[in-house]
Amino acid sequence: MKKFISALLCVSSFSFASMIGLEAMGQEQIAGGSAAMAGRGFAGNAKTGDAEGVSVVNPARQAFDSKVALNLNFLLDVSTADRSKSHYTKTNLSMPSMNLSFPMGDFGTFGVSLWQHYAGSMREDFENQEENQKAKIEYQSSIYELVPTYAIRLPFYRAISLGASAHFVMGSFTRELTLGPDNSAIGENDAWATTDTDISDYVSGDWEIKNHPAYYTFAAQYRGRMASYFFSFTTPYTLKNDLEYNFRFSEIDTLVPTKHTREIRVPAMLATGVNYRFNKRHNVMADIAWRAWDKDIENAAGSWNLSKVTKTQNDFNISVGYQRDGSDIFYDSYWKRITYRAGAWFKNWYVQDVSEIGGSIGAGFPLGRKGTMLDLAIQGGVRLTDDDRNWSESYIGIRLGLLGVGSWGKTRGQ
Amino acid sequence: MKKKTFILFPLLAMFLSSCLFDSDDDGLSSWLSDQGMPSSYKVQMVEVDGLKPESAKLYRDTLPHTASSRGFLGAASGLVHDAVFDFAIDSAFLADMKEADSAKAYLSLYLFDGFYKFKNLPSNVLPIEEDLKLNVSWIVSEKLNTADYYALESVVDTVWMNELKSWKTKKKADTTLSVSITKKDSLLILDMPSAFVDDVRKNSGNRRLQLRISAPEASHVYRFYGPGSGLLVSPLLYMVEMKNNSYKGYRANRAATMTSNREECSDCLVLHSGVYDSLVVEFPSKPIMKALSDFYGDKFPYEDGNGVDVRQAVIMAELTFYRDDSMGENELGLPVRVVSVTYADSADKVVRSTESYIKFNDSLVVKKGHQNLVFHEGDSLSLQVTAGVRDFINRASDGRSFKMSMMFDLPILLENETTYANRYINSKGDTTYVAFPYSDFSRYDFSSIKDKPARLKLWLASKRGEE
């Protein structure tokens, strides 16, 4: 267990690979980043089942679950940013979310998710002595949400459920840019004073929500025989990032930091989706989530020639997916018991002029009799940019989800 | 089969990442530049000329210091160093002394070999030939019972030195002896005046004897081993009873050096080495802020937010003073290092710390020696005050001035040596002494800083973007 926890902590200290929006909030992990969702193009928040688990977009869904589900998700992400002749590749390993849902029959379903909603990380250095260049950049930003959710089916109309979740936000931001000296502007006789003296522009701070403990999502879900729908509303909120920034000459030799708080007004999100089931085990689904940003995002401690703000745009995510549920009959062949998934998405980022097109295929491999499953998804796509600062990126990724299912509180045959 | 698949996929991704998507060498630099970040910081320089201190205060060290390992006796460069000893004399011997027809006493001090036999001792020190005028004063205690007598051994040094601050006695006597010390000598024998011997032998019982010896007109400060240096080289007071020719040597329980300042000019900023004198100087904020403001075109001091200025950082700051070595004197004839001490905010407190002197202009040092020295070629003294100026500009919005202090350090033997250490092991495995390992007794008058302006030179890195 100890080993497992330390491995988990190790993985969760990494974050996502995109280099876009590092100065703002980083890359957003859609739909909790679950491997099962990713396999079907992040669609299927409306899909119900007996152990679909927590959906951070649609908290009402879990009311239809009948089994306790614990779900851990991992992401291995390779992303290449390129512009003209330069390209730059990063590989990241992260743990976008951990979810637990706990159905209590007529008392509804309680769930909790730990979701790395936004993250950005980068740690690279480079040196070119001929041109007096020496730089090391380190970004480490993570906005985590602890999301308790509760959903219940209406007692008088069981096809409809209502759900709500509270998102408690936490996290940290660090940017450290270490630079070597460029003595070209001073006389040769004075160069001794700065030779080999590196300095670091250091920014760090915590994330929280301003004036409120959390932001909230409310959702309603309808489960029909063939078609299921959901609609959710997420309240707007203001993210507060208390930053301290200073110069560091070494770890123990620093200036007294300047304090600055940046506030990011995240708009309300509307989301809806549909899942259509046919031929018993085949599902097609489509989801859309939409937010109208009206304020730019202040960048972390603007300095050098960094832009002061990250301009925003209306951010939306349209996804379509297909899933063939695996047979839950243990005596069927293994191939039949595997769940197959495929999907595609188009996402307009919150960062202006950045859009993402992606596709994925995935499968859920049942392990043992009880419905325990290992979800695998392979995704790939491009992030297109149309400005001077952000580079376009292409990426591939592998997601792994572990789904543990238990039928607590149920007698055999129920 | 399942297992293999699960292991295979991540491996495949790793493989792809390492082979197919290799990064360009300059990928990061062009990405940084597209983000508006530099790939190095441009070093900029600002010079502030004509800095005159708004205050300069001298802190003289006049406290008694322990001479447990090494004591001083003599006078040099405006300071007189008295040696004080604390003895315990027993009743049996005093009784013998009392009965004797005549008696005499002398103090033997073992000269400190580390100094007098040091291989690089400047040749002007030895031999010493002089008629040494001694002022001897002493305090003999009341009769002590046995317990109190033995308790004298365990008097705490600091308690005793605190008592010494008010040395009062009427028992004084002068004597003159001729001293001759060559490199072979290791002992300084000081015959005590007869008034001292007569006064001591009047007493009976167990007594505590405190003896102070002063040589204000000495040509040299004699360095000797203190009582903590071991039995063989301890200062010993010999009392000889002439009739029986029996004598007894009393080892000092403890010893101290009491320094008195004989500088005549009370307004002068005379700093001494060998003691903990320090000179605290405060420079006004305005000219420094103005120079920065002229250079960057921004408002200084920075008053936005919490008023802490991190728009730029001081990589190096050097403060250069006018120097005229004729304003000072020294005993050993060697250049003496000046240490700069500055004040910086740390965890809501102001911390006084010695500036590091790690970087210096090597080629200048080879040609003209280190620039933080007095008593050598040239007419300036340059002190590095990086941490202090860094903190000062960082917090200047609270209206503070730039404050620093300076002290003397060790004399230096190899002023053109670019290894700035007291000593190092050379390639042959021998010890090379860069600094003379013991303090000189020197003085330097810094009064000129009041009217000869100093120059502050700053090496800066700025976070400002290029227009």
Phi, psi angles (nearest 5°) of residue B253: -70, -35
Interface contact B29-A193, CB threshold 8 A: no
* pLDDT over threshold 90, residue A72: yes
Interface contact B318-A193, CB threshold 8 A: yes
Contact B22, B243 (CB under 8 A): no
Mean pLDDT of chain A: 88
Strand ordering across the sheet containing B270-272: B270-272, B443-445, B328-329
* pLDDT over threshold 50, residue B52: yes
Q: How many CB pairs lie under 8 A apart between chains A and B?
A: 187
Q: How far is B317 from chain A (nearest CA, A)?
A: 9
A330 in contact with chain B, both atoms CB, cutoff 8 A: no
Q: How many CB atoms neighbour CB A63 within 10 A?
A: 26
Residue of B nearest to A188 (CA): B361
Interface contact A86-B24, CB threshold 8 A: yes
Contact B387, B316 (CB under 8 A): no
Contacts of B32 in chain A (CB under 8 A): 135, 137
pLDDT class for B222, splitting at 50, 70, 90?
very high
User: What's the Cα-to-Cα distance from B438 to each of B119, B120, B223, B334, rounded to whole Å?
Assistant: 13, 11, 10, 12
Interface contact B34-A388, CB threshold 8 A: yes
Interface contact B345-A258, CB threshold 8 A: no
Interface contact A247-B24, CB threshold 8 A: no
Interface contact B315-A258, CB threshold 8 A: no
pLDDT of B4: 54
Interface contact A192-B360, CB threshold 8 A: yes
Contacts of B395 in chain A (CB under 8 A): 256
Cα–Cα distance measured from residue B313 to residue B295, given in angstroms and rounded to the nearest whole number: 14
Which of B25, B305, B464 is nearest residue A258 as measured by Cβ atoms? B305
User: What's the Cα-to-Cα distance from B351 to each of B343, B348, B354, B355, B387, rounded to whole Å?
Assistant: 5, 9, 10, 12, 11
Interface contact B310-A197, CB threshold 8 A: no
pLDDT class for B11, splitting at 50, 70, 90?
low
Query: Which of the 8 DSSP states describes residue A27?
Result: E
Q: How far is A309 from chain B (nearest CA, A)?
A: 12
* pLDDT over threshold 90, residue B455: yes
Beta bridge partners of B338: B408
> Is the four-CA dihedral B163, B166, B170, B172 of positive or negative sign?
positive
What number is the average pLDDT over the span A209-218? 94
Interface contact A396-B13, CB threshold 8 A: yes
Q: What percent of chain A has pLDDT over 70?
A: 94
> Is the four-CA dihedral B276, B281, B282, B288 of positive or negative sign?
negative
Which of B22, B394, B463 is nearest residue A303 as measured by Cβ atoms? B463
What number is the average pLDDT over the span B69-93? 91
Interface contact B30-A83, CB threshold 8 A: yes
The beta strand positions in B182-235, using DSSP E, are 187-191, 207-214, 221-225
* pLDDT over threshold 50, residue B21: no
Residue of B nearest to A258 (CA): B308
* pLDDT over threshold 90, residue A343: yes
pLDDT of B59: 92
Contacts of B345 in chain A (CB under 8 A): 256
Interface contact B387-A374, CB threshold 8 A: no
What amino acid is encoded at A259 in this protein? K
Which of A89, A137, A199 is nearest residue B41 as measured by Cβ atoms? A199
pLDDT of B26: 67
pLDDT of B286: 94
Q: Among A11, A82, A128, A133, which would you mutate to test the B interface (most chain B Cβ atoms within 10 Å of its Cβ)?
A: A133
Contact A296, A310 (CB under 8 A): yes
Interface contact A306-B465, CB threshold 8 A: yes
Interface contact A91-B23, CB threshold 8 A: no
Cα–Cα distance measured from residue A92 to residue A70, given in angstroms and rounded to the nearest whole number: 24
When comparing pLDDT for B27 and A357, which is higher? A357
Contacts of A20 in chain B (CB under 8 A): none
Contacts of B315 in chain A (CB under 8 A): 181, 193-194, 197, 199
The beta strand positions in B78-169, using DSSP E, are 79-89, 103-110, 128-140
Q: Among A79, A126, A262, which would you mutate to test the B interface (most chain B Cβ atoms within 10 Å of its Cβ)?
A: A126
Which of B22, B39, B313 is nearest residue A255 as measured by Cβ atoms? B313
A112 in contact with chain B, both atoms CB, cutoff 8 A: no
Mean pLDDT of chain B: 87
DSSP for A255-267?
Answer: PPPEEEEEEEEEP
Candidates A245, A325, A317; CA nearest to A286 is A317
Q: How far is B14 from chain A (nearest CA, A)?
A: 8
* pLDDT over threshold 50, residue B246: yes
Query: pTM for this one?
Result: 0.84
Which of B17, B43, B310 is nearest residue A257 as measured by Cβ atoms? B310
In the block, tokens 């983000």 appear at B35
Backbone torsion region of residue A31, taken as left when φ is above 0, otherwise alpha when ψ lies between -120 and 50, otherwise beta? left
Contact B445, B268 (CB under 8 A): yes
Tokens of A43: 């669609």
pLDDT of A408: 67
Which of A125, A192, A389 is nearest residue B34 as measured by Cβ atoms? A389
* pLDDT over threshold 90, residue B383: yes
User: What's the Cα-to-Cα distance from B296 to each of A14, A304, B144, B301, rounded to whole Å?
Assistant: 40, 14, 75, 12
Query: Out of A99-103, A323-327, B6-10, which region has the weakest mean confidence (pLDDT)?
Result: B6-10
Q: Tell me whether strands A315-324 and A282-291 are parallel, antiparallel or unpaired.
A: antiparallel
> Is the four-CA dihedral B346, B349, B355, B356 of positive or negative sign?
negative
pLDDT class for B19, splitting at 50, 70, 90?
very low
pLDDT of A1: 45
Interface contact B459-A186, CB threshold 8 A: yes
A300 in contact with chain B, both atoms CB, cutoff 8 A: no
Interface contact A257-B318, CB threshold 8 A: no
Domains of chain A are 2-406 (2.40.160.60)
Residue of B nearest to A75 (CA): B10
Beta bridge partners of A223: A228
Contact A195, A35 (CB under 8 A): no
Dihedral of the alpha carbons of A178, A183, A185, A187, in degrees to the nearest 10: 150
Contacts of B295 in chain A (CB under 8 A): none
The beta strand positions in B252-335, using DSSP E, are 254-261, 270-272, 278-283, 312-322, 328-329
What number is the average pLDDT over the span B38-46? 91
Contacts of B43 in chain A (CB under 8 A): 181-183, 185-186, 191, 194
Q: pLDDT digits over A13-62, tens only?
A: 444 678 888 888 889 988 778 899 999 999 999 999 888 889 999 999 99
3-state class (DSSP) for residue A192: helix
Cα–Cα distance measured from residue A281 to residue A337, given in angstroms and rounded to the nearest whole number: 11
pLDDT class for B1, splitting at 50, 70, 90?
very low
The beta strand positions in B357-453, using DSSP E, are 373-374, 380-384, 402-411, 423-425, 431-433, 443-445
Contact B421, B410 (CB under 8 A): no
Contacts of A390 in chain B (CB under 8 A): 34
Where are chain B's structural domains?
44-60+277-462, 65-261
Which of B26, B40, B465 is nearest residue A86 as measured by Cβ atoms? B26
